[in-house]
Amino acid sequence: MKKIVECIPNFSEGRDQKKIAALVAEVASVNGVKLLDYTMDKDHNRSVITFCGDVDGIKEAAFNVAKKASELIDMRHHKGQHPRVGALDVLPFVPLKNVTMDECVAIAKDVGRRIGEELKIPVYLYEEAQENPSRKNLEDIRRGGYEGFFEKIKMPDWAPDYGPHVMNEKSGVTVVGARNFLIAFNVNLGTTNIDIAKKIAKAIRHSSGGFRYLKAMGVDLKERNVVQVSMNFTNYEKTPLYRVFEVIKNEASRYGVNIVGSELIGLIPAKALFDTAEHYLMMENFSYDKVIENRIYE
Amino acid sequence: MKKIVECIPNFSEGRDQKKIAALVAEVASVNGVKLLDYTMDKDHNRSVITFCGDVDGIKEAAFNVAKKASELIDMRHHKGQHPRVGALDVLPFVPLKNVTMDECVAIAKDVGRRIGEELKIPVYLYEEAQENPSRKNLEDIRRGGYEGFFEKIKMPDWAPDYGPHVMNEKSGVTVVGARNFLIAFNVNLGTTNIDIAKKIAKAIRHSSGGFRYLKAMGVDLKERNVVQVSMNFTNYEKTPLYRVFEVIKNEASRYGVNIVGSELIGLIPAKALFDTAEHYLMMENFSYDKVIENRIYE
């Protein structure tokens, strides 16, 4: 049973294509690693690489690309709208196949320690890799941004988990962790009334009383004359797509509004779709190993 | 893009476990082939091996197991309820991944020719590998069984496609072909009235005016106090599970009956479940390459 881990480094560079190509090449050249995707955003001045691989490959590729980012990107000259604290800003590891969350936590700690000690960059662990509840959330760690970290790093509560206890001016700090796969899934409503999308988002999201592993907001898609409930599923096994979809359908019907479509942003694990089919087809005896592809690739 | 073909040989031997183990071993020992499943049925005196592999591997394993069956199984002593014409009774090839139906037809013809010429067993091509419409259906070829083939083979319309034009007394004849993946999926209804299951089966199956690629019958599950619509989907892309499921739901509601569950018999391709999720979640932009596993295994 081959272990597969996903890694999604976020970099504070979204304009210089040559630099991004060099980061991508650093990942793609490692044995046992497969590049899945990369995107760059000029406004946010930010890029994201998605790759997967076995445990050794993922660790090597993650450290190598962290090193390359520390050479190529200089935070002293970085401008962009997106909150960020470092050249390699965030480095999450996600269990994809035959791998536990604990194994991903161990990978995050190994790679985090090397980034701290060998590259002299302060490292903060987050999500599942962090035990201190007040330092688990990315938003809490990143608050104040790169500029604010020159002071923040001196606070006793914000001593780094690895690396020097002083700011790295060129590279900033890096946030390393382990988390579940995140699904970005949006549902479109047949109305131009943004209030309805906002009310439904409020009804279903965790922060205001909804599902435990769901973030949601209402968005106006003016050019399409529809409004959208835009969502992040942070644990699709415990808060599944089909359950949230049916609640949205029901809440919308209360306003006489129909769902007119949905869209997936980025990638989705096969299991999230298998679970959906199993639910709607009311299967009594479904199991993962009834899917022929799951027998072929172990 | 690795090509993957499935092969599901049916043998007229379901009682002698040593012989079946020898057939399984013959398949499992071929490079590039993966054994997925095997089942034996004592009443039917019949066994089925399911395996997949690349084009070369599947051809080698299929021929080797045909040869082994001709050595181990003697049709002159075979008794069983299931219709059958040969020791290796039926040998279908199914496109699984990155393979066209035409390629599976070519494989069926290659292997069929070798079985005919090298093993001296008359071979009949069926389904997609057969151009003559009156010889496409397995039921038509198999009608009369092993015993009837001593005369049937002499009829001009039933000259074999490959091999000798006289019956092989020990091995019978073998039916070789290419077909789509077959999904066996049953829907249970919350009633003990078998007439309702039979009426619905009649409404949805091809033979009586229903879906083009669907076979269906009503079955009484007495021990569970439900009745069942038992189905074979012979082309799940053109006659999809979710569409048939919704028609059953609607037809059952006309009698005041609900669907209470469903069951999958054997294996299912991931795409049949992806298509189902895409339908129910009303996805606008779904594509196969949004599924992360489809990026990993190409």
Provide DSSP, A15-76: S-HHHHHHHHHHHHTSTTEEEEEEEEETTTTEEEEEEEE-HHHHHHHHHHHHHHHHHH--GG
Number of domains in chain A: 2
Give the end of a domain, one of A178, A213, A242.
Answer: A178
Which amino acid is located at A65 in the chain?
V
Answer whether residue B149 shows pLDDT above 70: yes
Q: How far is B8 from chain A (nearest CA, A)?
A: 13
Is the distance from CB of A181 to CB of A236 less than 8 angstroms? yes
* Burial class for A81, CB neighbours closer than 10 Å (0-12, 13-18, 19+): exposed
* Together in a domain, B71 and B145: yes
| pLDDT over 70 percentage in chain B | 99
Mutation target vs B (from A292, A294, A297; most B CBs, 10 A cutoff): A292
Given this model, what pLDDT does residue A224 score?
A: 87
**Residue B18: partners with Cβ closer than 8 Å, 6 or more residues away:** none
Answer whether residue B81 shows pLDDT above 90: no
Answer whether residue B80 shows pLDDT above 80: no
Q: Collapsing DSSP states into helix, strand and coil, what is residue A164? A: coil
Residues of chain B with Cβ-Cβ distance to A4 below 8 Å are 296
Given this model, what pLDDT does residue A107 score?
A: 98
As a whole number of angstroms, the distance between CA B230 and CA B242 comes to 15
* Together in a domain, A200 and A283: yes
Q: pLDDT by residue (tens digit) across A248-298?
A: 999 999 999 999 999 998 899 999 999 999 999 999 989 988 999 888 876
Q: How far is A201 from chain B (nearest CA, A)?
A: 17
* Together in a domain, A172 and A200: no
Given this model, what pLDDT does residue B262 score?
A: 97
Q: pLDDT by residue (tens digit) across A41-94?
A: 888 899 999 999 999 999 999 999 999 999 999 999 898 777 899 999 999 999
Answer whether residue A159 shows pLDDT above 70: yes
* CB atoms A291 and B270 under 8 Å: yes
Q: Residue A190 belongs to what H/E stretch?
A: none
* Region at B244 (left for phi over 0; alpha for psi -120 to 50; beta for the rest): alpha
Nearest CB to A264; choose among B188, B263, B285: B285
As a whole number of angstroms, the distance between CA B291 and CA B244 comes to 25
* Together in a domain, B129 and B198: no
Q: Tell me, what's the ipTM? A: 0.85
* Together in a domain, B171 and B195: no
- Around A296, how many Cα atoms within 13 Å sit in the side-chain half-sphere? 25
Tell me the mean pLDDT in the region A146-158.
Answer: 96
Label residue B282 by pLDDT band (50, 70, 90). very high
Which amino acid is located at B183 in the chain?
I
Label residue B2 by pLDDT band (50, 70, 90). confident
Given this model, what pLDDT does residue B12 score?
A: 96
Answer whether residue B186 shows pLDDT above 90: yes
* Together in a domain, B151 and B265: no
Label residue B295 by pLDDT band (50, 70, 90). confident
* CB atoms A282 and B259 under 8 Å: yes
Label residue A1 by pLDDT band (50, 70, 90). confident
Label residue A116 by pLDDT band (50, 70, 90). very high
Answer whether residue B197 shows pLDDT above 80: yes
Answer whether residue B278 shows pLDDT above 90: yes
Given this model, what pLDDT does residue A41 score?
A: 84
Query: What secondary structure, in 3-state letters, does chain B show?
Result: CCCEEEECCEECCCCCHHHHHHHHHHHHCCCCEEEEEEEEECCCCEEEEEEEECHHHHHHHHHHHHHHHHHHCCHHHCCCCCCCCECEEEEEEEEEECCCHHHHHHHHHHHHHHHHHHHCCCEEEEECCCCCHHHCCHHHHHCCHHHHHHHHCCCHHHCCCECCCCCCCCCECEEEEECCCCEEEEEEECCCCHHHHHHHHHHHCHHHCCCCCEEEEEEEEHHHCEEEEEEEECCCCCCCHHHHHHHHHHHHHCCCCCEEEEEEECCECHHHHHHHHHHHCCECCCCHHHEHHHHHCC
And the tokens for A147? 């500029």
Alpha-carbon separation of residue A97 from A27, A37, B199 (angstroms)? 20, 18, 44
Expressed as residue numbers, the domain containing B159 is 4-178
As a whole number of angstroms, the distance between CA A238 and CA A262 comes to 21
Tell me the mean pLDDT in the region A34-45.
Answer: 88
CATH number for the domain including B199?
A: 3.30.70.670
CATH number for the domain including A131?
A: 3.30.990.10
Q: How far is A231 from chain B (nearest CA, A)?
A: 14
* Together in a domain, A54 and A190: no
* Together in a domain, A122 and A216: no
* CB atoms A268 and B291 under 8 Å: yes
Among the listed residues B44, B77, B82, B165, the single catalytic one is B82
**Strands A123-127, A174-178: pairing kind:** parallel
Is the distance from CB of A180 to CB of A163 less than 8 angstroms? no
**Residue A284: partners with Cβ closer than 8 Å, 6 or more residues away:** B188, B261, B262, B263
Tell me the mean pLDDT in the region B269-279.
Answer: 97
* CB atoms A283 and B264 under 8 Å: yes
* CB atoms B282 and A261 under 8 Å: yes
As a whole number of angstroms, the distance between CA B285 and CA A266 comes to 11
Give the end of a domain, one of B154, B178, B202.
Answer: B178
* Together in a domain, A236 and A275: yes
Residues of chain A with Cβ-Cβ distance to B185 below 8 Å are 281
**Which residues of A have a catalytic role annotated?**
82
Given this model, what pLDDT does residue A298 score?
A: 60
* Together in a domain, A45 and A128: yes
Q: How far is B71 from chain A (nearest CA, A)?
A: 30
Nearest CB to A262; choose among B97, B272, B282: B282
Residues of chain B with Cβ-Cβ distance to A291 below 8 Å are 267-270, 273
Given this model, what pLDDT does residue B297 score?
A: 73
Q: pLDDT by residue (tens digit) across B18-37?
A: 999 999 999 999 999 999 98
Q: Collapsing DSSP states into helix, strand and coil, what is residue A182? A: coil
* Together in a domain, B172 and B197: no
Give the end of a domain, one of B178, B203, B226.
Answer: B178
* Together in a domain, A26 and A173: yes
